[in-house]
Amino acid sequence: MFHFRELQVTTNNFNNKNILRKGGFENVYKGVLSGRSLVAVKRLKNGNAIRGEIQFQTEVKMISLAVHWNLLRLYEFCMTPTERLLVYPYMSNGSIASRLKGNINRRISCKVNI
């Protein structure tokens, strides 16, 4: 389990320049661990909010149940009385969701021979 201070350092104090994605309940930051590993740190916007806490617990449970080499895995997490953070490997090609959304917007042209 990470300490909150470690994740502050990793993300340059949760600098806005390091934001990878903004969500309804969280922001995701790019960070560098002391061993030079790139990570994505998901920080709940309000760790005390009921919906945010439920989302945090659900995500931890689902990720821990879904174990497969093709799936994203959770490195660690951090919990304080006011903060909830999840640490994932950094995906340099973007998220799966962003890839799927990109494909929806792409037109596919086909010629049909009759």
- Cβ atoms of 87 and 61 within 8 Å: the answer is no
Token code pair at residue 69 = 């080499």
Token code pair at residue 92 = 């340099």
Q: Which fold, 4-101?
A: Phosphorylase Kinase; domain 1 (3.30.200)
Tell me the three state secondary structure of residue 86: strand
Can you tell me which residue has the tokens 């945090």? 56
pLDDT in tens, 11-45: 999 999 999 999 877 899 999 987 778 999 999 87
pLDDT in tens, 70-97: 667 788 889 888 889 989 888 877 665 5
What residues does each domain of the chain span?
Answer: 4-101
